[in-house]
Amino acid sequence: MERIDIKRVFIEPELLKLISGAQAYRMEALPVSRKGDLVTFAVADIEDLSLIDELEDICDMEVYALPVTDVDDLKDSIRRYYPKSSGGGDGEDNSGRLLHEIINMSLQMRASDIHIDPKEFDGKVCMRIDGKMREVKKVTKETAAELVSVIKVESFLNIAEKRIPQDGVLKIDIYGETISLRVATIPTIYGEHVTMRLMNNANAADLAELESLGFSDGNFKLFKDNLMLPNGIIIISGPTGSGKTTTLYAALRFLREMGEKHLVSLEDPVEMPVEDVTQVKIDSDGERVTFNAALRSVLRHDPDVILLGEIRDSETADIAVKAAMTGHLVLSTVHTNTAIGVFSRLLNLGVPRFLLISTLRLAVAQRLVRRPCKYCMDWRDSTEEENQFFGWESTVKVPEPKGCSLCGDTGYSGRLAIYEMVEADSNMRSKLESGAGEEELSSFIHGEKAVPDMKVDGSFKILSGQTTIKEVRSVVSV
């Protein structure tokens, strides 16, 4: 029997009214979807038939019960969806409680950001889930304004100031777990808009395991082999929001678990605290801790692996190369679209060609795509045009997202990355030595050497049902 991964399910607030919080706690059951008079519950104990009877009585509907993959996850979800409140109060208490509820909900729905968005006549609470914005709650204009004030108070912003953007940090206790959110306000024509980014929580999957990133077998081995090297540079590239940091942190986690290595990171800003990593905050605009000064002192702390948040100018490029030359493994990111682009980017930043050849080990490019919801996903035949685009020789079966109540009608749940990786092996190095430009390198790598590019990786992930044609085409050009 199929089990339901409750952590990946989006439950409509309307459904929650079918049973009370007390009933949910007692019966260890959560309503997850409804079709007409049939309601599906996720339950801890599928064998308990009297429980199903009781649920049918309470809801006055037919009940279908699905076992969960993990009972502890179910308990967490019940706590999040039916928060135990501490009794009534005045207006401010209410908005405080609403804020608590919203943050709680964002944790359950694995959101990365929360928006309080005032409109002309009312307000909206939206969340970014799997990279897409979704409206989760409508509120009155007054409630939206109260929420904004509570957030400003809790994050120590100037509550009287409504005309200029402010930013701060909100820390809130949700069932014994301290959740940090980066808060930013901005005045709009209808009032202040607040954006909150969830920082240190499991949802962000910032410390994902390498295995969970969605590497193909070939890429997984390539990436791992390069991480085990004693020195050199590994670069992850891609536009903002392509999941570079997730890959970088997964690499850190892998190295940490291998043990016996001193890991140091120089970041601006520090995205999240990571256990067993010496994290240094860089002040690249100011004058307190510059990259150069930080690196000099970091080298005295005997690191094995150095993570540089981003190589964005010739100074950081120079530092990365120097560190790699002095026996360190350097992990970093750059803003380029392709893996090959990493080589030219570093050359453009003034890294001498011979130093690039002797230090750069692996260039990775990546994009994020959404996974189809496994509860409603369908398969269809590919079209002639799609066969041509992806180079499929004949019609193949491809996933088609549909939408159901378990995925909030989006047809998608969760994300994974598609990758291309170019290793600076001896062939590649001699190409570089000969002075080849980006175009020549690219046709050598993807033509002669047949290194799969992102389109090929995406095609593989479509055929194995991990993403859809539309998703891959939205991030891969031609």
Task: Please give the structure tokens belonging to residue 225.
Answer: 């082999």
Q: How far is the CB of 399 from Zn ion (least distance, A)?
A: 12
From 111-119, 198-206, 337-345, 371-379, give the range in contact with Zn ion by CB under 5 A.
371-379
Regarding 10 and contact with Zn ion (CB under 5 A), the answer is no
Q: How far is the CB of 79 from Zn ion (least distance, A)?
A: 24
Cβ nearer to Zn ion, comparing 375 with 390: 375
| Cβ-Cβ contacts under 8 Å for 379 (sequence gap 6 or more) | 397, 398, 399, 400, 465
Q: How far is the CB of 36 from Zn ion (least distance, A)?
A: 17
Distance from C-alpha of 372 to C-alpha of 374, rounded to nearest angstrom: 6
Amino acid letter at 196? M
Cβ nearer to Zn ion, comparing 117 with 130: 130
Q: How far is the CB of 410 from Zn ion (least distance, A)?
A: 7
Distance from C-alpha of 460 to C-alpha of 414, rounded to nearest angstrom: 18
| Paired strand residues for 330 | 233, 306
Cβ nearer to Zn ion, comparing 356 with 406: 406
Regarding 375 and contact with Zn ion (CB under 5 A), the answer is yes
Regarding 9 and contact with Zn ion (CB under 5 A), the answer is no
Q: How far is the CB of 125 from Zn ion (least distance, A)?
A: 22
Cβ nearer to Zn ion, comparing 128 with 371: 371
Contact 52, 65 (CB under 8 A): yes
Distance from C-alpha of 286 to C-alpha of 381, rounded to nearest angstrom: 56
Cβ nearer to Zn ion, comparing 372 with 458: 372
Cβ nearer to Zn ion, comparing 179 with 404: 404
Q: How far is the CB of 371 from Zn ion (least distance, A)?
A: 11
Distance from C-alpha of 65 to C-alpha of 67, rounded to nearest angstrom: 7
Select from 395, 393, 369 the least CA-distant residue to 380.
395
Q: How far is the CB of 407 from Zn ion (least distance, A)?
A: 3
Q: What part of residues 398-437 is at the interface with Zn ion (CB under 5 A)?
A: 404, 406-407
Q: How far is the CB of 372 from Zn ion (least distance, A)?
A: 8
Distance from C-alpha of 156 to C-alpha of 183, rounded to nearest angstrom: 10
Cβ nearer to Zn ion, comparing 15 with 373: 373
- How many chain residues touch Zn ion (CB under 5 A)? 6
Task: Please give the structure tokens belonging to residue 462.
Answer: 């479509």
Cβ nearer to Zn ion, comparing 33 with 219: 33
Distance from C-alpha of 60 to C-alpha of 329, rounded to nearest angstrom: 63
Regarding 376 and contact with Zn ion (CB under 5 A), the answer is yes
Residue 417 CA, chain-centre distance (Å), reads 10
Contact 255, 207 (CB under 8 A): no
Contact 466, 214 (CB under 8 A): yes
Cβ nearer to Zn ion, comparing 191 with 372: 372
Cβ nearer to Zn ion, comparing 33 with 246: 33
Site string for Zn ion, 315-354 (x = CB under 5 A): ----------------------------------------
The residue from 63, 125, 251, 373 that contacts Zn ion (CB under 5 A) is: 373
Q: How far is the CB of 403 from Zn ion (least distance, A)?
A: 6
From 112-120, 375-383, 387-395, 461-469, give the range in contact with Zn ion by CB under 5 A.
375-383
Distance from C-alpha of 425 to C-alpha of 182, rounded to nearest angstrom: 42
Q: How far is the CB of 373 from Zn ion (least distance, A)?
A: 3
From 140-148, 214-222, 310-318, 374-382, give the range in contact with Zn ion by CB under 5 A.
374-382
Contact 372, 443 (CB under 8 A): no
Q: What part of residues 133-172 is at the interface with Zn ion (CB under 5 A)?
A: none
> CA-CA distances (angstroms) from residue 29 to 209, 319, 346, 401?
30, 55, 55, 28
Regarding 32 and contact with Zn ion (CB under 5 A), the answer is no
Edge-to-edge strand list for the sheet holding 62-67: 29-35, 38-43, 62-67
Distance from C-alpha of 386 to C-alpha of 399, rounded to nearest angstrom: 13
- Phi and psi, residue 262, nearest 5°: -95, 115
Which residue's Cβ has the minimum distance to Zn ion?
373
Select from 156, 180, 176, 179 the least CA-distant residue to 166.
156
Query: Which residues of the chain form contacts with Zn ion (CB under 5 A)?
Result: 373, 375-376, 404, 406-407
